[in-house]
A and B are shown apart, each in its own frame.
Chain A
Amino acid sequence: MTAVAQPVVREPLPRTVVAGLDLEKIRADFPILAERIHGKSLVYLDNAATSQKPRVVLDAIAHYYEHLNANIHRGVHTLSVRATEAHDAARQTVRRFINAGDTREVIFVRGATEAINLVAQTYGRRHVGAGDEVLITAMEHHSNIVPWQILCEEKGAQLRVAPINDRGELRLDEFEKLIGPRTRLVAVTHVSNALGTVNPLREMIAMAHRRGVPVLVDGAQAVPHFVVDVQALDCDFYAFSGHKVYGPTGIGVLYGKAALLDAMPPYQGGGDMISSVTFAKTTYNVLPFKFEAGTPDIAGAIGLGAALDYIGGLGMGKIEAHERELLAYATEAVGAIPGVQLIGTASERVGVLSFVLDGVHPHDLGTILDREGIAIRTGHHCAQPVMERFGIPATARASFAVYNTREEVDALVKGIRAAREVFA
């Protein structure tokens, strides 16, 4: 035996550990990922439509109904106190997660859609008049188009649309030019649901603010994928849905700056949003309750809180790194398939890979992939103007979450190649 040290044989890192995340463990946290679809392992790549829910979220909801269920802000009895505390804690969790300054600025709603409608029907109806303008972009989801169309139609105002380029990026110069003396509000998406484009929000918000115009951000496709700090962004309103960020359906959040929310008329009337009611006059409750008429989705808020705690625990930075790596891998692998044309090739992109396949309609591709257990979205993704911009009726869209793996991307690639064979 010599004294020469033997080289240390290291075990290779398990492949499931990516960007510091143990994917195998994470996948085990999501019961539905064990489902078999047509006899195959589920490959769930429709996360931009809705994400799956970890066990902790399901448990939090069950725990609420089993141990806390009562109406909030009313009873002196123990259960009502417990339910109120749990609901308050969920609001605190949301505040921390998006770094809002105060829980008064965190309003629970049904989802991003309701959040945007709330602002259109309150702030919008008060501040947008005949001849005024609301500015959106060409990459908005229908939920950030239609509420403004309804408002503009009612008020005789104009909806202006900032264009995008062939890569699916906002034309920032055109956007800035469109902010004019009659612009009363800018409403833009943080991340495009159809293209994955990440908008340069800080610059956009600064541009609008220089002209004294407030900005609403549709953050439904951003919050699941990277750290969102509403104070750093300096946005005036920020909307997102719980179900796209590993929480339950039926719950979402509107963040608004307190000064704006305070000055806005209420959205819906009812219980909880008042401080006193007589037939002569009603005094509205303080924020955030002024905008939360009726018994809220208590279990939903608690479930959302559990979801945000869960991904906060994993680390948003790690999630972002993993998903970026996965999207880059998928973009290269899918892009290399003959006949594939990627739709949306912005330099800043998260979560979404949209494409068309020569000779195979997205619907047929979706059906063929489904038989392999692979779930993708096919269609116009509630963004028909985006489809029109690219001159196509529909795309196939694979969208990613923290639990997705390279092996699943490989399965997708294999499925797309098989679909080409069917239609060869």
Chain B
Amino acid sequence: MSTEKGELSDLYQEVILEHSKAPRNYRKPESANQHAEGYNPLCGDRCTVYINMDGDAIRDIGFQGSGCAISRASASMMTQILKGKTKAEAAKLFEEFHDLVTGKEDAAETTDLGKLKVFSGVSKFPARVKCATLAWHTLQSALENKDKPTSTE
């Protein structure tokens, strides 16, 4: 049925496919002074987020790991939007992103997410929310400079 196909192409938007094939900031910045490892035990996806914090601001950010198209694209686009943001701004963006992918009402209209709104299609695929948020959970740990690996569980 066309609506089903529609949902699938809502999930795998061109931008997402493109980022999954050629993720941005897929590297460990030499200046990185904080990092955290994330792990989704359900599917085995792994993600390490590296950040260079300059006071309260994210000066540089990169990631490495293995995962599905959704998790790679999410990590890639997350690193793009976060450069130069403060910790508080990053936390707010994560909250908005979480609302977006879990289908909270009006989430797509009221956010500062910009390009990241392409992930709104994830809300129709509850099994994939963890893929979309793995990098963000890991970022949260990196900001807190937690030693222990972050888990989506």
Chain A contacts to B: CB under 8 angstroms? 38-39, 360-364, 367-368, 371, 378-380, 384, 387, 393-394, 422-423
Contact = CB atoms under 8 A, between A and B. Distances in A.
A384 to B, nearest CB: 7
A361 B67 contact: yes
Nearest to B7: A371
Contact of B12 (A39, A378, A422): A422
Contact of A363 (B1, B5, B7, B128): B128
Nearest to B69: A364
Interface of B: 1, 4-5, 7-8, 11-12, 17, 21, 42-46, 66-70, 125, 127-128, 131
Main secondary structure of the interface of A (DSSP, over half): mixed
A367 B66 contact: no
A357 to B, nearest CB: 12
Given A38-B4, A361-B69, 9 more contacts: A38-B1, A360-B69, A361-B67, A361-B68, A363-B43, A367-B125, A380-B44, A394-B43, A422-B17
B7 to A, nearest CB: 7
A422 B68 CA distance: 13
B1 A364 contact: no
Contacts of B69: 360-361, 364, 423
A363 B68 contact: yes
A387 B125 CA distance: 26
A39 B128 CA distance: 20
Contacts of B21: 423
21 contacts: A38-B4, A39-B1, A39-B4, A361-B68, A363-B67, A363-B68, A363-B128, A364-B12, A364-B69, A368-B8, A371-B4, A371-B5, A378-B43, A379-B43, A379-B44, A384-B44, A393-B43, A393-B45, A393-B46, A393-B67, A423-B21
Contacts of A380: 43-44
Contacts of A371: 4-5, 7-8
Contacts of A384: 44
B79 to A, nearest CB: 19
Nearest to B127: A367
Contact of B11 (A38, A367, A387): A367
A394 B44 contact: yes
A360 B66 CA distance: 12
Nearest to B65: A393
Given A38-B1, A38-B4, A422-B17, A367 B128 contact: yes
A360 B21 CA distance: 10
A362 B66 CA distance: 12
Contacts of B42: 379
Contacts of B131: 363
A393 B128 contact: no
A81 to B, nearest CB: 46
A379 B5 CA distance: 24
Nearest 7 interchain pairs by C-beta: A361-B68, A363-B68, A393-B44, A39-B1, A38-B4, A380-B44, A379-B43
A379 B67 CA distance: 11
Contacts of B68: 361-364
A106 B7 CA distance: 49
Given A367-B11, A367-B127, A423-B17, A387 B44 contact: yes
A378 B131 CA distance: 13
A248 to B, nearest CB: 24
A371 B128 CA distance: 13
B149 to A, nearest CB: 14
Which among B5, B42, B44 has the greatest number of chain A C-beta atoms within 10 A?
B44
Contacts of A363: 43, 45, 67-68, 70, 128, 131
Contacts of B70: 363-364
Nearest to A380: B44
Nearest to A368: B8
A363 B43 CA distance: 8
The winner among B7, B21, B45 for most chain A CB atoms within 10 A is B45
Contacts of B66: 393
Nearest to B67: A361
Nearest to A360: B69
Nearest to A363: B68
Contacts of A364: 12, 68-70
Contacts of B7: 371
A39 B5 CA distance: 11
A362 B40 CA distance: 14
A364 B45 CA distance: 12
A379 B43 CA distance: 4
Nearest to A38: B4
A164 to B, nearest CB: 19
Nearest to B11: A367
A422 B131 CA distance: 18
Contacts of B46: 393
B124 to A, nearest CB: 10
Contacts of B125: 367
